[in-house]
Each structure stands twice: as C-alpha cells, then as structure tokens.
Amino acid sequence: MSGALQFWNARVWAPYIRATARWPWLRSIVPFLPLIALWWAVAEAEFVPRAFLPGPVEVVASFFTLTYKGILPEYLSDSVTRLALGAAVGIAIGIPLGLLVGLNRTAHRALWPILLFFQAIGDIAWLPILLIWFGFGLTTMTLVIVYTVLFPIVLNTVLGVRSVPFDLHRAARSLGASPARVVWEVVLPGSLPNIMTGLRNGLGYGWRALIAAEIIVGTSGIGFLMFDARRAGSVVEILLGMIVLGVLWYIVDAWILAPIERATGERWGMVQRR
C-alpha cells in the first residue's frame, strides 16, 4: 500500500502542488474535475431515469444552444442588472445609515432593535406584500434585493465603526480635524474591512434573494429560467442555471470581493486572516 502512496505523492500530488504554485487558478478548477467525472458516470449508469439526472454533456450542449439563441445572455444580464441596481441602492443607504447608528448613541439605542427585527423577518417574507403594492415587476424585485443587501451592510458598518480605536478619533482631533473630517478621514477607512465583509455577505444574500424573487415573480432571469424549466419538466436547464449561478458568484466572490477584503484588512494589519 505504501508503494502506491509513494507513487501517488511523487508522480501525481507533488506535480499538482507545483503546478498550482505557478498557476493558482488551477486550485479552483482541478478539484471539480473528479466531481464532473463522477457526475457523468452516475448519469450514464442511469440509477435514476435520464430525465431526472442528465449528464454534463447535455448540460454543456444546452449551454451552447441557449447562448446561441440569445436566451442565456439576456437572462443573465437581466439578473445581473437587477442585482447591481439593488446592491447600489442598498449600499447608498446602508453605509450612511451604518455610520449614523455606529457613531451616535441615541440612534443606536433607537434603531438597533428595529434593524435586528426587520433583518429577522428576512427579505423573502416581504414578497407577498410587495406584490400587492407594486405588482409583478422590476420594482418588487429591486426592493427585495435592496432590503436583503441593506442589513448585512448596515450591521457590519456599525461593527466596523465601533471597532475603530478611540485614540484614533482623539489623535485626529488633536491634529486639527473637525468632527466631520474625523468621520471621513478616520471612521470610514477604519471601518472599511468590516464594510467589505458586509458587502460580501450582503451580495451573497442578495444573489439568493434575486433567484427566489425571479422564481416566484419573474418574467426573466436565471431564476425564472430554472423555474420555467421545472414547469416544463426539463432538468437540463435547471442544472445549467444552477451551474451558471454558482460559477458566476464564485468568480465574483473569490476573485473580486475576497481579494478586496483581504487587501484592505490585511494590508493595514487590521484583520487577522487564517
């Protein structure tokens, strides 16, 4: 057994580690290969009917078909636009609100329980009443996303504001900064790592809320694609939708958001990362 293990380590594992050192993106991709192979094997073996579990080949074929027909790009851009819009509004409201609640004791006492409670209700639970008020459309969906993105951002901003050491406030003041300038020069940069965390969480929840909204409400978008396919009984598109979602968010989170979070926090020595 140990001979086989040695062989594995020397001929397979070691070269892999070296390769990932040179091309780090390999580390994100290679682990999926055995998974895809497993998927293919299970689908081929038809433990369940093909209609219930299609294989990777069919899904890839569907990807090309839908892209060719223009459906996939259109749905994708619809989903992404909604998310971006909702997120932008959520950030625009969330950060100032977080600053206010974090800096002002009265605002904190008055608003913190309310924030926690409304966060607990959750975005999805607002759908029914939003549907009554605004009907089945873009407004409803955007509002759900704004609501979803808002809370992690506000709560994390508050956390960040409160974690700025008080001595930094004082240092800035005794160097001549007015209270307003202290917010801009000290509190905001100091809370930035936490705000990034809030943004990351918020977008993560927002993405999911978008899909749910599109499933329940929508007329277009990836979530709608999946639900429509489900209605037609076509598993292939559902799987395609899920994979597109997963890959997209994985890319955004791992290659855009996480590095930014790391860059601000770690570079300034403010956050210990594993």
Partner 1 sequence: MRRLASATYFSLPLIALVVLWAIVVRVFDVDPRVFPGIGSVVGAAVESIRDGSLINHVAASMWRVVVGTVLALVLAVPMGIAMGVSPGISSFFTPIFRFFSVLAGIAWIPIATLWFGYGFGAIVFVIFNAVFFVVTYNTLLGVTSIPMPLRHAAASLGAGPWQMVTQVLLPGALPNIVTGVRTGLGFAWRGLIAAEMIATNVGLGYMLFVARDFYRTEVIVFGMIVIGVLWMLIDRLLLVPLERATTERWGMVRAE
Partner 2 sequence: MKSLTLKNLQKTYFDPYSGTEVTAIRDVSLDVGPGEFVAIVGPSGCGKTTILNMVAGFLAPSGGEILVDSRPVHGPGPDRGVVFQSFALFPWKTVLDNVAFGPKMRGIGRPEREASAREFLELAGLSHAADRYPNELSGGMQQRVGVVRALANHPDVLLMDEPFASVDAQTRMTLQEELARIWQERRTTVLFITHDVAEAVFLANRVIVLSGGRVQTEIEIALPHPRSWDALMDDDGFKALSSQVLQQVRAA
Among 115, 154, 192, 238, binds partner 2 (CB under 8 A): 192
Q: Are 71 and 241 in contact (CB under 8 A)?
A: no
CB of 92 to partner 2, least distance (A): 22
CB of 274 to partner 2, least distance (A): 18
Q: How far is CA 265 from CA 164, 195, 273, in A?
A: 13, 10, 9
d(CA 28, CA 240): 19
CB of 186 to partner 2, least distance (A): 7
* Tokens coding 42: 């299970």
Helices (H), 163-253: 166-174, 179-182, 188-217, 222-231, 235-252
Return the number of the residue (52 or 184) whose C-beta is nearest partner 2: 184
Residue entry with tokens 């598109």:
237
Q: Report what 172 binds from partner 1, partner 2, none; CB cut-off 5-8 Å by kind.
A: partner 2
The count of other CB atoms within 10 Å of the CB of residue 215 is 17
Stretch that binds partner 2, among 40-48, 55-63, 115-123, 175-183 (CB under 8 A): 175-183
d(CA 40, CA 138): 38
Q: Are 185 and 116 in contact (CB under 8 A)?
A: no
Stretch that binds partner 2, among 31-39, 62-70, 82-90, 263-271 (CB under 8 A): 263-271
Please report whether residue 260 would count as binding partner 2 according to CB under 8 A: no
d(CA 10, CA 268): 39
d(CA 82, CA 206): 10
CB of 97 to partner 1, least distance (A): 15
Q: Are 107 and 101 in contact (CB under 8 A)?
A: yes
Among 97, 146, 186, 217, binds partner 2 (CB under 8 A): 186
CB of 27 to partner 1, least distance (A): 7
Return the number of the residue (185 or 253) whose C-beta is nearest partner 2: 185
DSSP code for 104: -
Return the number of the residue (70 or 269) whose C-beta is nearest partner 2: 269
Return the number of the residue (220 or 264) whose C-beta is nearest partner 2: 264
CB of 63 to partner 2, least distance (A): 43
Q: Report what 62 binds from partner 1, partner 2, none; CB cut-off 5-8 Å by kind.
A: none
Return the number of the residue (139 or 178) whose C-beta is nearest partner 2: 178
Among candidates 261, 161, 264, 266, which has minimal Cα distance to 204? Answer: 261
CB of 88 to partner 2, least distance (A): 24
Q: Report what 113 binds from partner 2, partner 1, none; CB cut-off 5-8 Å by kind.
A: partner 1
The count of other CB atoms within 10 Å of the CB of residue 126 is 19
The residues that touch partner 2, with contacts defined as CB under 8 A, are 165, 167-168, 170-178, 181, 185-186, 189-190, 192, 264, 267-270
